[in-house]
Amino acid sequence: MTDTQVGIIGAGPAGLLLSYLLHLEGIDAVVLETRSREYVEQRVRAGVCEQPTVELLREIGVGARLEEEGMPHHGLSLRFDGEDHRIALTELTGKSITVYGQQEIVKDLIAAHVGKGLPVEFEVSGVALHDLDTERPRVTYTDAGGNARELTCAAIAGCDGFHGVSRPSIPGDALRTYDHQYPYAWLGVLARTPPSHEELIYTRHERGFALHSMRSPEITRLYLQVDPGEPIENWPDDRIWTELRHRLETSSADFVLRDGPVLEKSITPMRSFVVEPMRYGRLFLAGDAAHIVPPTGAKGMNLAVADVRNLARALAPLVRRNDSGLAESYSDTCLRRVWRAEHFSWFMTSMLHRDPAGDEFAERLHLSQLRYVASSTAAATSLAENYVGLPFDW
């Protein structure tokens, strides 16, 4: 049996960032992860960092590589009716976003843990949570060497994603669940080719939504709206590039889509999901374990960062002095931001996607909204303010 102050389930950006924030507060934590270090460092996920996320990583001393390799963006493009409309993020808000892959943040945080000798156990199995409604909850698991282990904590942080063990460890009647399924999915492509545009392009087209993004000066990330049940086998590389050209083209000849070798492709259904509260006893949920947003608003990883910033501040007085004030308000504090992000992500998703049911009334409404955002400084500012990230203390 091992004692620690906080047990953290999951070594994604949420779990690792929480562990490091607690370390800076002088609080001991152990991170448990079922996957290998190599897997979590290579797992490609979101790449848009809001300004508050970037500032936090700089502030705690893990932003050096982000500063060197991250790609700051001061605007984005909304493309519809064959025309391109730039939303000047920095001009409207004084802030920007930075494109820097989630897996790169994970690498930086793991390196920081290794440099400080902070414990992260990879390739564990059989993780189970116990005694959550007591002041000494426990985690049992089997370590990478096959040894049965038990971790006794003052608190447990469930940072293990939507499919992890943390949320299912809470009695079902203790949670309220909100789950909204969208009638479309994204076909995501990672291609070895320089980006075709210096900024992100969000496109609404009669054939469906498309997104042009990037992960580095050499790697482009692209998405197409498809049906949720669409087999990936129906999308050979040539068809993907042809469809991207159809949807991303404009009435001018300024934009030329660069193609290249497809490194990865997958189809991901889209959903909005929230559980309330984000706490049960001494178990605190953070990130995808508590909420999912459709990726259109680029909010998922940034919400997780905001969660664990709040959680680190709540756990410090709880484990030091048994002061539960901030711990008791943790869920309400996080959910205010979560629901704002859920609404913005729903708004962006609805506005930009083609309704597969062919509801022409809805189509007209969404096009009207796009035209308003593209022509109104007030509407564009609202979109920009939400996109670059509201202050953590909002």
CATH of the domain at 251: 3.30.9.10
Contacts 24+ apart (CB under 8 A), 310-313: 310/334, 310/392, 311/18, 311/157, 311/284, 311/286, 312/18, 312/21, 312/22, 312/25
Judge whether 71 and 58 are in contact, CB under 8 Å.
no
Of 23, 95, 299, 353, which is the active-site residue?
299
- Is 295 tagged catalytic? yes
Asked whether residue 60 falls in the same domain as residue 161, the answer is: yes
- Is 116 tagged catalytic? no
- Is 387 tagged catalytic? yes
- Evaluate whether residue 80 is within a structural domain: no
Of 13, 52, 73, 277, which is the active-site residue?
73
- Evaluate whether residue 11 is within a structural domain: yes
pLDDT for res 254:
79
- Evaluate whether residue 91 is within a structural domain: no
Q: In the chain, how many domains are there?
A: 2
Which residues does residue 79 pair with via DSSP β-bridges, in sequence order?
Answer: 84, 203
Q: Is 341 left (phi over 0), alpha (psi -120 to 50) or beta?
A: alpha
- Is 85 tagged catalytic? no
Of 20, 100, 184, 202, which is the active-site residue?
202
- Evaluate whether residue 81 is within a structural domain: no
Asked whether residue 260 falls in the same domain as residue 275, the answer is: no
Judge whether 212 and 248 are in contact, CB under 8 Å.
yes
- Evaluate whether residue 353 is within a structural domain: no
**Token pair recorded at residue 65:** 């590589």
For residue range 122-173, list pLDDT tens digits in order. 999 999 999 999 999 999 999 999 999 999 999 999 999 999 999 999 998 9
Q: What is the DSSP string of 33-72?
A: -SS-HHHHHH-----EEPHHHHHHHHHTT--HHHHHH-EE
Asked whether residue 201 falls in the same domain as residue 103, the answer is: no
Burial of 231 (0-12, 13-18, 19+ CB in 10 A): exposed
User: What value does the CA radius of gyration of the chain take, rounded to a whole number of Å?
Assistant: 21
Residue 56 belongs to domain with CATH number: 3.50.50.60
- Is 39 tagged catalytic? no
Asked whether residue 69 falls in the same domain as residue 31, the answer is: yes
Q: Are strands 29-32 and 6-9 parallel, antiparallel or unpaired?
A: parallel
- Evaluate whether residue 89 is within a structural domain: no
Of 295, 330, 353, 366, which is the active-site residue?
295
Asked whether residue 303 falls in the same domain as residue 313, the answer is: yes
Asked whether residue 189 falls in the same domain as residue 225, the answer is: yes
Q: Are strands 155-158 and 291-292 parallel, antiparallel or unpaired?
A: unpaired
For residue range 64-115, list pLDDT tens digits in order. 999 999 999 999 999 999 899 999 999 999 999 999 989 999 999 999 999 9
For residue 204, give its domain range: 182-269+358-388
Asked whether residue 193 falls in the same domain as residue 303, the answer is: no
Which residues does residue 16 pair with via DSSP β-bridges, in sequence order?
Answer: none
Asked whether residue 259 falls in the same domain as residue 279, the answer is: no
For residue range 257-283, list pLDDT tens digits in order. 999 999 999 999 999 999 999 999 999
Asked whether residue 65 falls in the same domain as residue 130, the answer is: yes
- Evaluate whether residue 394 is within a structural domain: no
Asked whether residue 17 falls in the same domain as residue 103, the answer is: yes
Is residue 118 helix, strand or coil?
coil
For residue range 199-251, list pLDDT tens digits in order. 999 999 999 999 999 988 999 999 999 999 999 999 999 999 999 999 998 87
**Token pair recorded at residue 188:** 């995501």
Asked whether residue 200 falls in the same domain as residue 300, the answer is: no
Is the pTM value of this prediction over 0.75? yes
pLDDT for res 393:
86
**At 188, which helix (H) or strand (E)?**
strand 176-192
Asked whether residue 188 falls in the same domain as residue 326, the answer is: no
- Evaluate whether residue 160 is within a structural domain: yes
